[in-house]
Amino acid sequence: MGFTKLYEVGITGKGIRVGIMDSGVYAEHPWLKGRVVVARSAFDYEDEKDYFGHGTHVAGIIAKLAPDASLYSYKILDSKGGGDLFTLIKGFDWAVNDRVNVVNLSLGSPVNCCFSTIRLLHDSSKEMGVFPIYAVGNFGEGRVACPAMIEDTIAVGSVDVDCSIADFTSRGPGCFFYRRPDTYAFGGGSKSCVISAWTPLSKTRPGMYACVRGTSQAAPQVTAATALFIQAYRERFGVDPKYDDLKRIAEVATRDNVLRVDEMERAVINPIAQLLLSLALLLVGEAVWRLRTR
Partner 1 sequence: MGAYSIYVTNPVYVNDIVRDVEAVGGRVITVSTTFGIVVAEIPDSMVGRIAAKRYVRMVEKSYPFEVTTR
Q: Does residue 46 bind partner 1 (CB under 8 A)?
A: no
| Closest-CA residue to 27 (of 9, 13, 12, 41) | 41
Q: Does residue 120 bind partner 1 (CB under 8 A)?
A: yes
Find the binding residues for partner 1 in span 139-158 (CB under 8 A). 145
Q: Does residue 57 bind partner 1 (CB under 8 A)?
A: yes
| Burial classification of residue 51, based on how many CB atoms lie within 10 Å of its CB (0-12 exposed, 13-18 middle, 19 or more buried) | buried
Write the DSSP symbol of residue 176: G
- Packing angle between helix 243-255 and helix 215-237, nearest 10 degrees? 120
Compare residues 96 and 275 and give the one whose CB is closer to partner 1.
Answer: 96
Compare residues 93 and 265 and give the one whose CB is closer to partner 1.
Answer: 93
- Amino acid identity for residue 124 in this structure: S
- Amino acid identity for residue 59 in this structure: A
Q: Does residue 241 bind partner 1 (CB under 8 A)?
A: no
In this chain, which stretch among 31-39, 64-72, 90-98, 241-249 interacts with partner 1, using CB under 8 A?
90-98
Q: How far is the CB of 228 from partner 1 (least distance, A)?
A: 23
- What is the maximum alpha-carbon separation in the chain? 56
In this chain, which stretch among 64-72, 131-139, 173-181, 271-279 interacts with partner 1, using CB under 8 A?
131-139
Distance CA 294, CA 289 (A): 9
Q: How far is the CB of 150 from partner 1 (least distance, A)?
A: 14
Q: Does residue 88 bind partner 1 (CB under 8 A)?
A: yes
Write the DSSP symbol of residue 101: S
Distance CA 48, CA 42 (A): 8
Distance CA 187, CA 164 (A): 11
Q: Does residue 196 bind partner 1 (CB under 8 A)?
A: no
- 185 — phi, psi (to 5°)? -150, 170
Q: Which of 33, 117, 205, 266 binds partner 1 (CB under 8 A)?
A: 117
Q: Which of 11, 76, 159, 246 binds partner 1 (CB under 8 A)?
A: 76
Q: Does residue 223 bind partner 1 (CB under 8 A)?
A: no
Coil, helix or strand at residue 167: coil
Distance CA 81, CA 220 (A): 17
Q: Does residue 82 bind partner 1 (CB under 8 A)?
A: yes
Q: Which of 73, 138, 221, 231 binds partner 1 (CB under 8 A)?
A: 138
- Packing angle between helix 215-237 and helix 271-293, nearest 10 degrees? 160
Contact code string over 3-42 relative to partner 1, x by CB under 8 A: -------------------xx-------------------
Q: Does residue 49 bind partner 1 (CB under 8 A)?
A: no
Q: Does residue 83 bind partner 1 (CB under 8 A)?
A: yes
Q: Does residue 121 bind partner 1 (CB under 8 A)?
A: yes
Q: How far is the CB of 134 from partner 1 (least distance, A)?
A: 9
Compare residues 50 and 276 and give the one whose CB is closer to partner 1.
Answer: 50
Q: Are 20 and 59 in contact (CB under 8 A)?
A: yes
Distance CA 150, CA 135 (A): 12
Interstrand relation of 17-22 and 70-75 (parallel, antiparallel or unpaired): parallel
Binding site for partner 1 (CB under 8 A): 22-23, 52, 54, 57, 76-77, 81-90, 92-93, 96-97, 106-109, 111, 113, 116-117, 120-121, 124, 128, 135-138, 145, 168, 212-217, 219
